[in-house]
Amino acid sequence: MPKKDQPVSLPVLRRLPRYYRLLEKLESEGVERISSIEIAKQLGLTASQIRQDLNCFGGFGQQGYGYGVSPLCKEIGNILHLNENLTAVLIGVGNLGRALCGYLSGEAKGITLIGLFDKNPNAAQTASGLPIMNVDKLDDFCKERHPRVAILCIPGENAQQTAEKLVNLGIEGFWNFSHTDLRLPDNILVEDVHLGDSLMTLGYRVWDSDASENNRNGGAEK
Amino acid sequence: MPKKDQPVSLPVLRRLPRYYRLLEKLESEGVERISSIEIAKQLGLTASQIRQDLNCFGGFGQQGYGYGVSPLCKEIGNILHLNENLTAVLIGVGNLGRALCGYLSGEAKGITLIGLFDKNPNAAQTASGLPIMNVDKLDDFCKERHPRVAILCIPGENAQQTAEKLVNLGIEGFWNFSHTDLRLPDNILVEDVHLGDSLMTLGYRVWDSDASENNRNGGAEK
């Protein structure tokens, strides 16, 4: 039985969705059981790390048998609350906002988009079957529908002010795609997706690996 | 002078874009200098961590004066190779692909999109001024133009095969938005943006904070 009352550390938590994704894929392929060694191989982790992680929730494996794919997938889904329903609003319905609408109304689990907002909504436009409302309707909407999560796809310069307003309207967590670090009260949860940071990191690593290779080749031109 | 030959550890590297973003914003606001304490406050880090990070590159600060915003911003930009030109192709021009095209041809630095590919390109369609080509043109294109980075916005089930093909065509790094963990040779750099994982993590944290609050309130309903 999982030890549900124990807090999960953030590094463990960040691995859980990877386990879930792999198990879901294996389940769809009809795989019935898998060893920690095989999970490790597929995810580039160590088998002992995987056993340790899954033990945080009481462990589901049997020595010599491995893990049952379906029960483990279901259990991790439960831990991640994927069968529950977190209500969300999305602010900023540009290309990125639309891409996220598609994802949220398609394969994403555990979250339901209930309102879309934009500064300049086109009256006739919808996304994922929802009307796009003017941001000045946000107050009334939140007071009536009590969304818990806000997805920010707006420019960095407006993000802090909008986020503060949303906190006052009861938003508990942010999925932040705005290019800025939000400064919010400690009890507010922020999951940043800083695309620019990720791209700059990739760029550095590609140039750096180039330089290392040149060094290994005695500085010769590639 | 920065110690350019020393490798930067991944945790330090991941903080550099955050410094760069902050410094760029301060520069645009006309701020001339900033202390490590103020940088720390704005980014939620400690001043000693910031001094330590910037020392990796030889340090640019003077005691009692702080850091010159413009020179530090320029130097971090150089370290991140933002003034150089990494060529990239993007595969999968759906809503997310289009959002990334907009970002890459707008505010992103250090990278140039030179080719767009899709499984079902509409002959007349373009994005960011580039034609969208059929993926079967990828071989010829890479042999002629030698892009160094590939941006994958395709479904998870096709990603591994496409990535392997691109590695054979000379791609050195991937910005991976496909919902799968790529298994590629060690010298190939992969920067994953797993939106689903980030969303699941946020969901867990919101529910978990809810549970902790209920526990603090003696289990009473909120």
pLDDT-derived band at B126 (thresholds 50, 70, 90) equals confident
Give ranges for CATH 1.10.10.10 in chain A. 10-79
Which has the higher per-residue pLDDT, B179 or B164? Answer: B164
pLDDT computed for residue B222 by the predictor: 36
Query: Cβ B209–A110 below 8 Å, yes or no?
Result: no
Asked whether residue A179 carries a pLDDT value surpassing 80, the answer given is: yes
Which has the higher per-residue pLDDT, A24 or A121? Answer: A24
Residue B183, classed as helix, strand or coil, is coil
Cα–Cα nearest to B91, from B126, B130, B128, B132: B132
Share of residues in chain A with pLDDT > 90 (%): 64
In angstroms, the Cα distances linking B26 to A182, B58, B180 are 16, 22, 37
Q: Which residues contact A176 (CB under 8 A, 6 or more apart)?
A: A152, A159, A163, A182, A190, A191, A192, A193
Please give, rounded to a whole number of angstroms, the shortest distance from the CA of A26 to a CA of chain B.
12
Asked whether residue A199 carries a pLDDT value surpassing 90, the answer given is: yes
pLDDT-derived band at A57 (thresholds 50, 70, 90) equals low
Asked whether residue A2 carries a pLDDT value surpassing 80, the answer given is: no
CATH of the domain spanning A86-197? 3.40.50.720
Asked whether residue A219 carries a pLDDT value surpassing 50, the answer given is: no
Asked whether residue A167 carries a pLDDT value surpassing 80, the answer given is: yes
CA quadruple A133, A138, A139, A140: dihedral, nearest 10 = 30
pLDDT computed for residue A1 by the predictor: 38
- Residues of chain B with Cβ-Cβ distance to A207 below 8 Å are 81, 84, 86
Share of residues in chain A with pLDDT > 70 (%): 90
Asked whether residue B217 carries a pLDDT value surpassing 80, the answer given is: no
pLDDT computed for residue B220 by the predictor: 44
What tokens does A218 get? Answer: 């005695």
Which has the higher per-residue pLDDT, A217 or A220? Answer: A217
- Residues of chain B with Cβ-Cβ distance to A204 below 8 Å are 8, 13, 16, 79-81
H helices of chain B, in order, are: 10-28, 36-43, 47-55, 69-79, 95-105, 138-145, 156-168, 195-216
Query: Cβ B108–A199 below 8 Å, yes or no?
Result: yes
For the segment B79-94, what is each residue's pLDDT rounded down to a tens digit? 999 999 999 999 999 8
Mean pLDDT of chain B: 88
Please give, rounded to a whole number of angstroms, the shortest distance from the CA of A179 to a CA of chain B.
8
Share of residues in chain B with pLDDT > 90 (%): 64
Asked whether residue B135 carries a pLDDT value surpassing 80, the answer given is: yes
Q: Nearest CB to A209: which of B175, B181, B189?
A: B189
Query: Cβ A208–B7 below 8 Å, yes or no?
Result: yes
> What are the φ/ψ torsions at residue B17 (nearest 5 degrees)?
-60, -30
- Residues of chain B with Cβ-Cβ distance to A18 below 8 Å are 181, 194, 197
Cα B165 to Cα B167: distance, rounded to the nearest angstrom: 5
Mean pLDDT of B171-180: 95
Asked whether residue A3 carries a pLDDT value surpassing 60, the answer given is: no
Asked whether residue B2 carries a pLDDT value surpassing 50, the answer given is: no
pLDDT computed for residue A216 by the predictor: 62
pLDDT computed for residue A55 by the predictor: 77
- Residues of chain B with Cβ-Cβ distance to A98 below 8 Å are 95, 99
Query: Cβ A187–B205 below 8 Å, yes or no?
Result: no
Which has the higher per-residue pLDDT, B216 or A121? Answer: A121
Give ranges for CATH 3.40.50.720 in chain B. 86-197
Return the residue of A nearest to B41 by Cα. Answer: A183
pLDDT computed for residue B59 by the predictor: 58
Query: Cβ B200–A20 below 8 Å, yes or no?
Result: yes
Query: Cβ A202–B175 below 8 Å, yes or no?
Result: yes
Query: Cβ A86–B194 below 8 Å, yes or no?
Result: no
Q: Nearest CB to B204: which of A80, A187, A209?
A: A80
Cα A181 to Cα A191: distance, rounded to the nearest angstrom: 10
Cα A59 to Cα A40: distance, rounded to the nearest angstrom: 16
pLDDT computed for residue A162 by the predictor: 97
Return the residue of B nearest to A205 by Cα. Answer: B189
Please give, rounded to a whole number of angstroms, the shortest distance from the CA of A197 to a CA of chain B.
5
pLDDT computed for residue A107 by the predictor: 82
Beta bridge partners of A115: A89
For the segment B98-112, what is each residue's pLDDT rounded down to a tens digit? 999 989 988 889 999
Q: Nearest CB to B111: which of A18, A199, A205?
A: A199
pTM exceeds 0.95: no
Mean pLDDT of B187-191: 95
pLDDT computed for residue A59 by the predictor: 58
Asked whether residue A77 carries a pLDDT value surpassing 70, the answer given is: yes
Mean pLDDT of A70-74: 91
Query: Cβ A204–B13 below 8 Å, yes or no?
Result: yes
What tokens does B57 get? Answer: 């590159």
**CB-count burial class (<10 Å; 0-12, 13-18, 19+) for A76:** buried
pLDDT computed for residue A128 by the predictor: 84
Which has the higher per-residue pLDDT, B64 or A189? Answer: A189
Q: How long, in residues, is chain A?
A: 222
Query: Cβ B206–A111 below 8 Å, yes or no?
Result: no
pLDDT-derived band at B215 (thresholds 50, 70, 90) equals low
pLDDT computed for residue B101 by the predictor: 93
Suggest the residue from A3, A29, A202 to mutate for an interface test with chain B (most B CBs closer than 10 A).
A202
Query: Cβ A209–B187 below 8 Å, yes or no?
Result: yes
Quickly name the fold that domain B10-79 has. Answer: Arc Repressor Mutant, subunit A (1.10.10)
Query: Cβ B17–A103 below 8 Å, yes or no?
Result: no
Mean pLDDT of A137-153: 97
pLDDT computed for residue B33 by the predictor: 92
Neighbours of B122 (CB within 10 A): 9
ipTM rounded to 2 decimals:
0.89
Asked whether residue A38 carries a pLDDT value surpassing 50, the answer given is: yes
Asked whether residue A23 carries a pLDDT value surpassing 80, the answer given is: yes
Asked whether residue A104 carries a pLDDT value surpassing 70, the answer given is: yes
